[in-house]
Structures are given as structure tokens and as C-alpha cells.
């Protein structure tokens, strides 16, 4: 796959840490040195990434030793750092773990698309997976030693395994994703819901409709699913129960830790950030626009925005716009201190533009997010999910998952919306190859611009160091 780590290999070996990397790299270096009881109190996520990176660094170290024995003239044994030293787990080595992880994420996304849309061509599946892998909010972090690439790869791998009905292994992989970042336990819920719907459909009596065909709305489909589970609990819950392991692990962590964030709890306390829902809806609508925007999808969105009856159209649009306006006003009126203090992030400049523009810009954004986001994306997903068996119930579950994962987050970071965008790209009806190719091309240009600004447009930070622009 195409990624910054492979296209410009000089950067992963750079030893200048950026943003949160000193914490992640320092913790991994502590494990590399055998200090397993050490824990940086500023780290908020579990140690899953550090264990993965430690295994990668161990493999790189073994490969270096083998190469030095086979080619001593070119790689003298003295050039291989001793295991446990800082060089053995250098930042360059740790960053480069994203190369196999990103390739695995692309492969997992391809498998998910082919399982959901078996009639689509292999080219469409590969291009859709490439569009997921190159999402600008995701691909950018292939350059850095962050949790994003590992977490999404494990999530998509769990989904691919679940679609193959390997539920125990899928549950374990999803739990590993939650061990990389806690909120992935929440993002694993749509995988479990899809598996439960599939299990109920597989065990239904002859002549009984699929869950997706049990009614026009999510409520009726939920009732049908509940009846199916009660009628045959062994054939439904008995097979998919391992997919609840991530949520059980998150609950245990929360009870033991007294909260979701492991460290720096004061700065990462959960709240009610309703504006996140508006941001995510607008973001996903923008992601889906190039591959899927058409007259037919717009008609679906207009119908969906107004409800089943045309007379409710104006009421639906006004209601969503009012909700979006209130959410944005509440979210932007109380920005997180990190947003105000850190001018490296693009969100800092977006907030400053909001302050200068005034409430009128909020109303416009709310209308766009309410009409395009909630309506168009929801209608498009229902078409796709009904075709592969998830139905309106799965789409409602995805929306509930997004709210549960995003609204408590106090920080506004676009990378938090990446799992939702990845799910919608894969679950939506297959797009045309040319549109997907154009989407991939746009992502490549955007990623190149982001990386160029990051590498070649540094600035002097307030503390005297070098600042770089990033998501």
C-alpha cells in the first residue's frame, strides 16, 4: 500500500519526537530495557501499542544480528546495538512498525469489503480499502509512533474475522485493539451487532424474513432481533459472545482505574461534548462525497431528512439544524484548554476562525452537517447495510456507537472520527471504480500537502523548540 513510511523512508528514522511521541517511545524504551513496572503518568492509553512495538523491535534486532553474521564485511557485528539499549528501540525502529501494520490494515479492509459486497469486483474492493488506508486523518499518523495505525488495523482485522464467523479470534483481536486505545472497545460494538444479526439470520426458521427485512425502521428490526435471540439463544448469543470481550475489558478497566484514561485524568476527563457529533457527521459526509455523491443519493437524503412522509420534510431539517446549532454553540463556547494552548493543531486555527466569523458560521455549518451528514450518510448506509444484511438496525447501532465514543471526548481531534469514516466507506454500497480512483488521488494529494507542511514548514514554538503543524 502507499504510505508516507514507505514513500519517504528517511522520516521514520528521524530521531526528533513530535507531540505525544516522547511518551509512547519512552514507555516502549522502558519495556525494552526490562523495566516492566515503569509507567509514565502522562500516558492515557493502555500498553498494547508498546507490547506490539516491542515485538517488532525484537524482530528487527534479530534480523540485524543475522545480517551481521551473514555479511560481516558490510554489517560488522559491533554495529548491531545490544538488546535493551536505547538504539535497539530507537524512535526510527518504533515508527517503522507502522509499515506492516498499515499493510495489514489495507488487507483487512479488502477482506471486509469483499465479505460485505461479494458481487463487487476485486478492483472496487482494493480501491475502497485503499481509500480507507489513505484517509488523510489516518495516513498522516503512519509517519508517527501513535496508536492510530495499530488500533484501526486491529479493528478491521476483527471485523474481517467476524465476517468469516471466527468469533473467538475476532473477539481476542478486538480486545487487542482496545488494549491499544480504550475507545476501540466501543468501536468494536458494530462488529458484534453485525455478527449477532448474522447469527440470528442463520438460525431463523424457514419462511422467516431476515432481520434487515423485518421492518422499515431500526426499532422493528431490533424487536425482530430480540425475538430471534430469545427463541434460539444458543445459536445466537452462544456463538458470538466472544465479541463482547472488548466491552467487558473496558468495563473492568473503568472500575479498576476509576475512569477510562489511565494517566493525566484531570486533562482527559470524560464530558458531554455534543458538538463532536456534528463534526463527525460533517466529516463523514465529506469523505463519502467524492465516491458516492449523486442525484439518487441526494434524493435519498432529502427523503430521509424529512421522514417517511413528505410533509415532515421542513420539520426534519429544522429540527436537525437546531440540534446541530445548539451542539456547536455548546462545544465551541467552552473549548478545551489544550485547544487554546496548542497552535500546532489545525483545530486551533479552525476555532480561531469560528471566533472571528461569529454565530452565523455556526448556523451554516449546522445546516450543512444536519442535512448532508445525518440525512445523506444515513440513507446511503441503509441501502448498503440492507443489501448485506445489517439493515437499518446496524446503521442505528453504528450511530449510537459514534455518539458513545465521541461525545465524551473533550478534545477535538479529527483522527477520532477515522473509525466512523472507515466503517461507512466499507459498509456503503460499492462505488464506481473511477470515482474511487479519483478519491484515492485526492487523498494522495492531501496527504502530500499535509506531510509537506509538517516537514518543511516548521515554526518556532513558544517554549523555544520546533513546532510542526499536524491534525
Q: What is the pLDDT of residue 99?
A: 92
Q: Is 206 helix (H, G, I), strand (E, B) or coil?
A: coil
Q: What is the pLDDT of residue 310?
A: 37
Q: What is the pLDDT of residue 65?
A: 80
Residue 339 is placed in which grid cell?
A: 485547544
Q: Is 210 helix (H, G, I), strand (E, B) or coil?
A: coil
- Low-confidence residues in the chain, pLDDT < 50: 1-13, 15, 305-318
CB 305 within 8 A of CB 361: no
pTM of the entire predicted model = 0.86
Which one, of 99, 121, 98, 97, lies nearest residue 110 by Cα? Answer: 121
Q: What is the pLDDT of residue 374?
A: 62
Q: What is the pLDDT of residue 459?
A: 76
Q: What is the pLDDT of residue 85?
A: 73
The total number of residues written for the chain in this structure: 471
Cβ neighbours for 189, distance < 8 A, ≥ 6 positions apart: 247, 397, 400, 401, 404
Q: What is the pLDDT of residue 264?
A: 66
Give, as one character, the DSSP assignment of residue 203: T
Q: Is 355 helix (H, G, I), strand (E, B) or coil?
A: helix
DSSP string, 314-350: HHHHHHHHHHHHHHHHHHHHS--HHHHH-TTBHHHHH
DSSP string, 43-107: --S-THHHHHHHHHHHHHHHHHHHHHHH-TTTS-GGGSPPTTSTTTT-HHHHHTTHHHHHHHHHH
User: Is the Cα dihedral 309, 315, 319, 325 positive or negative?
Assistant: positive
Residue 296 is placed in which grid cell?
A: 439518487
First to last CA, the chain: 22
Q: What is the pLDDT of residue 67?
A: 79
Phi, psi of 50 (to 5 degrees): -70, -35
How far is 436 from 449, CA to CA, in rounded Å?
20
Q: What is the pLDDT of residue 313?
A: 40
How far is 138 from 11, CA to CA, in rounded Å?
17
Exposure string (b/e) for 177-211, b if CB count within 10 Å is 16 or more?
A: bbbbbbbbbbbbbbbbbbbbbbbbbebbeeebebb
Residue 170 is placed in which grid cell?
A: 475476532
Q: What is the CA radius of gyration of the chain?
A: 23
How far is 98 from 87, CA to CA, in rounded Å?
18
Cβ neighbours for 436, distance < 8 A, ≥ 6 positions apart: 124, 127, 128, 130, 131, 291
Residue 243 is placed in which grid cell?
A: 465479541
Q: What is the pLDDT of residue 12?
A: 42
Exposure string (b/e) for 416-427, b if CB count within 10 Å is 16 or more?
A: bbbbbbbbbbbb
Q: Is 121 helix (H, G, I), strand (E, B) or coil?
A: coil
How far is 85 from 185, CA to CA, in rounded Å?
34
Q: What is the pLDDT of residue 262?
A: 76
Residue 451 is placed in which grid cell?
A: 506531510
Amino acid at each position: 500500500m502507499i504510505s508516507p513510511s514507505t514513500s519517504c523512508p528517511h522520516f521514520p528514522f528521524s530521531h526528533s519526537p513530535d507531540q505525544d511521541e516522547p511518551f509512547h517511545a519512552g514507555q516502549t524504551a522502558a519495556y525494552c530495557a526490562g523495566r516492566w513496572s515503569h509507567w509514565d503518568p502522562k500516558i492515557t492509553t493502555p500498553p498494547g501499542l508498546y507490547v506490539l512495538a516491542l515485538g517488532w523491535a525484537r524482530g528487527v534486532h534479530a534480523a540485524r544480528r543475522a545480517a551481521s553474521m551473514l555479511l560481516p564485511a558490510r554489517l560488522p557485528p559491533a554495529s548491531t546495538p545490544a538488546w535493551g539499549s536505547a538504539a535497539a528501540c530507537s524512535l526510527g525502529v518504533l515508527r517503522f512498525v507502522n509499515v506492516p501494520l498499515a499493510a495489514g490494515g489495507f488487507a483487512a479492509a479488502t477482506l471486509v469489503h469483499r465479505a460485505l459486497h461479494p458481487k463487487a469486483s476485486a478492483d472496487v474492493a482494493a480501491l475502497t480499502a485503499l481509500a480507507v488506508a489513505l484517509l488523510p486523518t489516518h495516513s498522516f499518523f503512519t509517519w508517527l509512533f501513535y496508536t492510530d495505525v495499530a488500533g484501526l488495523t486491529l479493528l478491521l482485522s476483527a471485523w474481517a474475522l467476524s465476517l468469516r464467523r471466527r468469533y473467538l479470534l475476532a473477539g481476542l483481536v478486538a480486545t487487542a485493539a482496545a488494549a491499544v486505545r480504550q475507545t476501540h472497545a466501543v468501536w468494536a460494538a458494530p462488529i458484534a451487532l453485525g455478527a449477532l444479526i448474522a447469527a440470528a439470520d442463520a438460525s431463523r426458521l424457514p419462511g422467516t424474513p431476515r432481520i434487515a427485512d423485518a421492518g422499515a425502521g431500526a426499532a422493528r428490526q431490533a424487536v425482530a432481533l430480540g425475538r430471534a435471540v430469545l427463541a434460539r439463544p444458543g445459536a445466537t448469543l452462544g456463538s458470538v459472545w466472544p465479541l463482547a470481550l472488548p466491552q467487558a475489558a473496558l468495563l473492568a478497566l473503568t472500575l479498576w482505574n476509576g475512569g477510562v484514561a489511565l494517566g493525566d485524568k484531570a486533562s482527559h476527563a470524560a464530558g458531554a461534548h455534543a458538538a463532536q457529533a456534528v463534526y463527525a457527521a460533517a466529516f463523514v459526509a465529506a469523505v463519502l462525497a467524492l465516491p458516492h455523491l449523486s442525484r439518487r443519493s441526494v434524493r435519498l437524503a432529502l427523503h430521509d431528512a424529512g421522514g417517511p412522509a413528505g410533509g415532515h420534510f421542513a420539520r426534519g431539517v429544522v429540527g436537525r439544524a437546531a440540534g446541530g446549532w445548539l451542539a456547536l454553540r455548546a462545544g465551541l463556547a467552552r473549548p478545551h484548554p489544550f485547544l487554546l494552548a496548542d497552535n500546532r493543531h489545525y483545530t486551533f486555527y479552525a476555532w480561531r476562525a469560528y471566533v472571528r466569523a461569529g454565530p452565523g458560521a455556526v448556523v451554516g455549518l449546522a445546516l450543512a452537517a444536519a442535512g448532508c451528514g445525518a440525512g445523506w450518510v444515513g440513507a446511503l448506509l441503509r441501502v448498503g447495510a440492507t443489501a448485506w444484511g445489517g439493515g437499518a438496525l446496524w446503521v442505528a447501532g453504528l450511530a449510537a456507537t459514534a455518539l458513545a465514543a465521541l461525545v465524551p471526548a473533550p478534545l477535538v481531534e479529527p483522527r477520532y472520527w477515522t473509525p466512523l469514516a472507515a466503517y461507512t466507506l466499507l459498509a456503503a454500497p460499492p462505488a464506481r471504480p473511477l470515482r474511487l480512483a479519483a478519491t484515492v488521488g485526492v487523498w494522495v494529494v492531501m496527504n502530500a500537502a499535509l506531510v509537506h507542511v509538517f516537514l518543511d514548514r516548521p515554526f518556532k514554538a513558544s517554549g523555544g523548540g520546533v513546532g510542526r503543524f499536524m491534525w
